[in-house]
Structure 1
Amino acid sequence: MRAVAFCALTALTLSACTVGPDFVAPVVQAPQSFGPEPRDVPSRTTSAEPDPQWWRCFRDDELTSLEKRLAAQNLDLKTAAERVEQAGAERTVVASQGLPHLEAQSTDVHERLSENGIFSRAVAAPGAPLTFAVLQQGLNASWELDLFGKVRRAVEAQDATTLAAIENRRGIAISALAELAQNYVALRGTQAGLAIVERNLRVAEDNIRIVESRFANGVTTTLDLAQARSQRESIAEVLPVLRTREAEVINAIGLLLGLEPRALEGELRRPKAIPAPPRQIAVGLPSTLLQRRPDIGEAEARLHAALAEIGEAEAEFYPDVNLVGDFNVQSLTLKKLFRASSTQWMLGPTVTLPIFQGGRLTGNLALKESRHREAAIEFQKTLLRAWKEVDDAMTAYAQAQKRRAAAARAAGQDRIALGVSRERYQQGLVDFLNVNASLTQLLRSENDLVESEVEMASQLVKLYRALGGGWEIAE
């Protein structure tokens, strides 16, 4: 066994050693910078340190207010906070194993001995009764000296587990903050879609009046009239779908804030613009992800806990030394209970040395070492996943901006096309089918524009989520 000679000397001097490897934070070789992104977009990334309260970049007071309330009201965060409390309580339980224990005992037992039992083999004093009471008062003390660090390693592992619970809570905070922002963006996108449908519905109704006027003058057919009326109904049938979607997203935001359904309808029913990204997005450097991403901190804490458990398993190979003490008074009568002659006591060390355990200790150590190697692999995987998520999010955000620009140009051309087709129809140069097709295409392109704006804002939220940070507001 390792450190046998040293620990034997330590045991003799009643000082303690701690077996097992000591934790050293892993050295991470981070990339110098994130990958280059297109520069021909209106909102570009910079290497500046990102704002922890990243949602403020959208300059939307309603969103900022919702995020602040979420930090205090989210039920998942409250659950995660309880897990942190539980981990702290478990640490107290584990640490108590290395502290002195003191117990008080009080006994008042009434007993009758059998005339035909073991007592019949003894020679009793003349007149000794078979029924009697035993009174005993005393103190029992014990203290595990933890000479080889089994308890200290257990406490170290639990400290790391508590830190992992804290980091997990921070990760839940980031996820909840990002989910709220994405739901908010989706809500404003749905409301923008409703506005487009209502606007185009008015255009379709205006088209019907134009066709009805021409029909009354005998310059058009019932086919044009039927097409105009059909188009109005086709546009109107989208409204219930969007209204349902609006109600669902409002309820989703309410659930994130721990509120009952429809609690936020009065606050969020009034439409607002889709949050617009800023011109510059601070993303920092890859090396700073270690401080901002809770999943990396949690993986490191679990790596630490796994290493400490190796030391705990190694300590089981060494003797357990306990100081025990027992002092009490015992008597058959209350009158004699507190006399000096009624005292009895015991004091001294007890040593337990494992000799043969059937492979339990060796198997347990092998198990802990394997779990530590697994934790090291998971830490490396978490790092790579973090860098990948940021890189993917940056690319997706840049491409979403390009899609939004193309959608805006397409919608502008379709508006021109609709105006020209309506004018030419009123002049009798084309049939209503051209107007119908132009309006349908405009509705599609305007919806595409709204979807591209929602995607652009959502991709920015995903980028901030990948960068980490924001959990500070929930601390």
Structure 2
Amino acid sequence: MVGMLRPNGACARMIALLLTATSLASCVVGPDYQKPFLVLPVSWGNAKQAKPSKPPELAEWWRRLNDPMLDELIQEAVAGNLDVATSKAKIREARATYRQAGGALLPSVDGAASATRSRTASTGTDGASTGNEFQAGFDASWELDLFGANRRTVEAARYGMDAAEEELRSTLLTLLGDVASYYVEARGYQARIALARRTAASQQETAALTRLKFEAGASSAVDVANAAGQAATTEADIPDLETSYAEAVHRLSVLTGRPPATLADRLKKSRPIPRPKLPIPTGIPADTLMTHPDVRLAERQYAQYTAKVGEAEAARYPSVSLTGDVATTGTRIGDLGKGSTISWSFGPSLSVPIFQGGQLKAAVEIAQAQRDQYFVAYRTAVLTALEDVENAIVALHQERIKSGKLAISVKHYRDAASLGRSLYQSGSQSFLDLLEAERSLYSAEDSLIQSQVAITTDYIALNKALGGGWNGLVDSSRPEIVDVNTGPQLALPSGQSRPIAMKK
């Protein structure tokens, strides 16, 4: 029984060696990662608040625009966007890399078998012998990782896996902002097209009235030409607006992973421009370190390359491996393991870097320089995120002021145009005054629509800058391509290929 066997002196020394090596394997070299501490402002510089702001409400922020179609498009974009699919594939790659790195910490075992038939003849005699030889066995090895090279590799791979997940969050954050922004722009162009058509129709009526007055001798040919020219100028705005609208729809379709014209019919019916409920809480600058995926991605990459410094440093130290093999040989297959010869070997091997021409030290310096670059990138990501929030706060605040002034402007110009038309019909005002009033009204109304679009766009930008992304489940485990017939098979002739199964 195995439990009754007692180790002899050689076995005892071998076990002691294993225990000693295992205890040494807890040693690592190189710097341990520490999350950097950055001094941040306690409040936003452009947020005029008497008391600290509440934490930002980032969960499904787009739903506060109260537009069911926008909600549907965002769901479709998360499921079908190709950049998201790429990020999910990177997560699968990072996870596989982590498992691959972890395998280096475990022993490896390889099996081998062979069968040989041979014939031996003696020179000058008729005697000859024919025989068979069968051999089976396995080889095993285990790198003890005394100075933590493999463990630093695993550590770097783990941080890389975290970084891949943050990259997916960053991709989703950008995607949600783009879908919402292009949707709002599309609704804005629809509103501007409708305004241009209404205004052109009104100006055509004015032109017809002017023509009647001219025929009655109460107006001049110059007035008729100016009236027709203004209507045509307004109509000339429509093709550019239609082009911009189509481009926004095409971009939305591509963002959802479909051909450009896919959403044209669904968005054809005009809807109001989504308008947010303001103001919104912005929290404090430190919140960006916890919520913004670009910042979290940069921090994970910095951690990953800190571990790579230890990986490069460990290459300068000796490495010890335990290797062993067992083999059995017999003249018949049935003899293997019983009526055969059995051989085994076991022992450590030591590799010591003595002279490498400075390559190993240079590799450490390369890793340190790369680590420094990612630390600077992390600091840059933090400052950029803070800048984006500050810019969005200012833009949203100032655009609301602008929109209020434009609304007052539209009211006054509408009154002026209405009164001017009445006075012109009664002959109490010149046509040029009416022409200017209608032109000013159209310009002010168009500017007000653009300002309403800008308010919602700034709201989207602020939520994006604060780190508002997708909080739902994203399945990154399903591959885009499902391989079939991957086992042994006959090779196809050159130029031919087998079909692949795409994910539905």
TM-score normalised by length of structure 1: 0.88
Output one character per residue of 1:293-326: Cα deviation in whole Å (capped at 9) or x when no partner. 0111111111111111111122112221111121
Query: What is the aligned partner in structure 2 of residue 4 from structure 1?
Result: none
Q: Specify whether residues 126 and 357 from structure 1 end up closer, same or farther in structure 2 by C-alpha distance, changes over 3 A only.
A: farther
Verify the 8 A CA contact 1:156 1:308 in the aligned structure 2: yes
Query: What is the aligned partner in structure 2 of residue 23 from structure 1?
Result: 33
Verify the 8 A CA contact 2:119 2:128 in the aligned structure 1: no
Verify the 8 A CA contact 1:71 1:474 in the aligned structure 2: no
Verify the 8 A CA contact 2:25 2:145 in the aligned structure 1: no
- Residue identity matched to 1:26: P
Q: Specify whether residues 105 and 426 from structure 1 end up closer, same or farther in structure 2 by C-alpha distance, changes over 3 A only.
A: same
* Of 310-319 and 92-101, the range deviating more from structure 2: 310-319
- Residue identity matched to 1:386: A
| Correspondence 1:71 to 2:78 | yes
Q: After the TM superposition, which residues 117-196 of structure 1 pair with which residues of structure 2 at under 5 Å, given as runs?
A: 135-196=134-195
Verify the 8 A CA contact 1:19 1:315 in the aligned structure 2: yes
Paired with 2:163 and 2:319, the residues of 1 have a C-alpha distance of 30
| Correspondence 1:446 to 2:456 | no
* Of 200-209 and 83-92, the range deviating more from structure 2: 200-209
SS at match of 1:259: coil
Output one character per residue of 1:156-210: Cα deviation in whole Å (capped at 9) or x when no partner. 0010011111111100100000011110110111011011101101211211221
Structure with the higher fraction of residues in helix conformation: 1
Verify the 8 A CA contact 1:336 1:342 in the aligned structure 2: no
Q: After the TM superposition, which residues 44-443 of structure 1 pair with which residues of structure 2 at under 5 Å, given as runs?
A: 46-108=53-115, 135-330=134-329, 340-443=339-442
Output one character per residue of 1:371-409: Cα deviation in whole Å (capped at 9) or x when no partner. 222222222222122111111111111111111112222
- Residue identity matched to 2:204: E
Residue ranges of structure 1 left out of the alignment (5+ in a row): 1-8
- Residue identity matched to 2:241: L
Deviation at 1:86, TM superposition (A): 0.3
- Residue identity matched to 1:32: V
Residue ranges of structure 2 left out of the alignment (5+ in a row): 1-18, 475-504
Q: Specify whether residues 132 and 225 from structure 1 end up closer, same or farther in structure 2 by C-alpha distance, changes over 3 A only.
A: farther
SS at match of 1:279: coil
- Residue identity matched to 2:73: L
Paired with 1:199 and 1:318, the residues of 2 have a C-alpha distance of 80
- Residue identity matched to 2:397: A
Verify the 8 A CA contact 1:173 1:474 in the aligned structure 2: no
Verify the 8 A CA contact 2:56 2:280 in the aligned structure 1: no
Deviation at 1:11, TM superposition (A): 3.8
SS at match of 2:36: coil
Verify the 8 A CA contact 1:53 1:473 in the aligned structure 2: no
Verify the 8 A CA contact 2:413 2:437 in the aligned structure 1: yes
Verify the 8 A CA contact 2:400 2:455 in the aligned structure 1: yes
SS at match of 2:347: strand
Deviation at 1:343, TM superposition (A): 2.6
Output one character per residue of 1:227-270: Cα deviation in whole Å (capped at 9) or x when no partner. 22222222122222222222221121111111223222222111
Higher relative contact order (CA 8 A, sep 6+): 1
Aligned length: 455
Percent of pairs identical after alignment? 31
Query: What is the aligned partner in structure 2 of residue 5 from structure 1?
Result: none
Verify the 8 A CA contact 1:45 1:281 in the aligned structure 2: no
Paired with 2:406 and 2:229, the residues of 1 have a C-alpha distance of 27
Paired with 1:52 and 1:80, the residues of 2 have a C-alpha distance of 21
Q: Specify whether residues 125 and 259 from structure 1 end up closer, same or farther in structure 2 by C-alpha distance, changes over 3 A only.
A: farther
Verify the 8 A CA contact 1:316 1:361 in the aligned structure 2: yes
Deviation at 1:474, TM superposition (A): 5.3
Paired with 1:12 and 1:387, the residues of 2 have a C-alpha distance of 47
Paired with 2:22 and 2:232, the residues of 1 have a C-alpha distance of 93
Verify the 8 A CA contact 1:174 1:469 in the aligned structure 2: yes
Output one character per residue of 1:210-234: Cα deviation in whole Å (capped at 9) or x when no partner. 1232123222233222222222222
